[in-house]
A and B are shown apart, each in its own frame.
Chain A
């Protein structure tokens, strides 16, 4: 492996990991958001009844 190979390997791993982490955060955000809105729509009528 030439020296450019090592450079590309390092940059590849780093940016892949960072992008994956970014996507996983977006995913968690979306999942949490839908769950929250579900809870709110399910929970708010109950609250009004009280």
Chain B
């Protein structure tokens, strides 16, 4: 019981940290940071766009870790970790696509373009929506966990290959335009634009970890309910 309390406490700390950084991040992104020289105010979307994708990748890395740990040690705890991280990751991936689309409309003139990163993010979303569907369609708990872990690992291994193929497809077949799909290289970002970005990335990382900790607690409680029900009928 004390362990659960301690866990809950560290979750609360994450929540407070997330809230703090979010408030500062919102202030610096919307008010303090200067508008971009080329893109104007629209550039401010980047202060949530890049943090979202960082949070999404973090979640998918956690899915991979949880999957490996589960296959190795077979502890329900690791499976709950992977399952929860997939759910939070899907949320952040979907948000990344929406933000990219809203940023693209004034920048490129269209809501959607088949640029490498946008396409890659959409594929990432499909893979992990598939993961969640698989989990919900296999009734046997243990088998679902094993199959989910395998998909989590295969999906993660596939990401670099998908990245490579999609990127080549866009660059080998059409010359890069002025609106290069890739964001400004790091060395081109100026400090006044960079540090609000860093604050927002930290904020989103804390936020995603906090949401993850909440989701894990939901999963653990559901697991305990199952345990109680099994104990009750036995």
| Chains A and B touch each other in the complex, with CB atoms below 8 Å apart | yes
Interface residues of chain A, those whose CB is within 8 Å of chain B, are 3-4, 6-7, 9-11, 13-14, 17-18, 21-22, 25-26, 28-29, 32-33, 35-36, 39-40, 42-43, 46-47
Which single residue of chain A is at the shortest CB-CB distance from B44? A7
> Would B211 and A21 count as touching, CB distance under 8 A?
yes
Report the Cα distance A36→B228, complex, angstroms: 8
B95, CB-defined interface residue at 8 Å: yes
> Would A47 and B231 count as touching, CB distance under 8 A?
yes
B116, CB-defined interface residue at 8 Å: no
Report the Cα distance A28→B99, complex, angstroms: 27
The 3 nearest A-B residue pairs measured at CB: A32-B221, A3-B41, A39-B228
Q: Which residues of B contact A33 (CB under 8 A)?
A: 221
Find A11's partner among B48, B106, B214, B217 (CB 8 Å cutoff): B48
Chain A CB within 10 Å, residue with most, of B40, B106, B228: B228
Q: Which of B175-230 contact A (CB under 8 A)?
A: 207, 211, 214-215, 217-218, 221-222, 224-225, 228-229
B30, CB-defined interface residue at 8 Å: yes
> Would A25 and B221 count as touching, CB distance under 8 A?
no
B157, CB-defined interface residue at 8 Å: no
Q: Which residues of A contact B42 (CB under 8 A)?
A: 3, 6-7
Chain B CB within 10 Å, residue with most, of A11, A29, A47: A11
> What would 5 more interface pairs be, CB under 8 Å, given A21-B91, A43-B231?
A6-B45, A7-B42, A7-B45, A10-B103, A25-B214
Given contacts A3-B40, A25-B211, contact A10 B218 (CB under 8 A): no
Q: Which residues of B contact A4 (CB under 8 A)?
A: 41
Chain B CB within 10 Å, residue with most, of A4, A18, A28: A18
Report the Cα distance A23→B30, complex, angstroms: 25
Q: Which residues of A contact B45 (CB under 8 A)?
A: 6-7, 10-11
Q: Which residues of A contact B105 (CB under 8 A)?
A: 6
Find B222's partner among A7, A17, A32, A46 (CB 8 Å cutoff): A32
Report the Cα distance A42→B106, complex, angstroms: 59
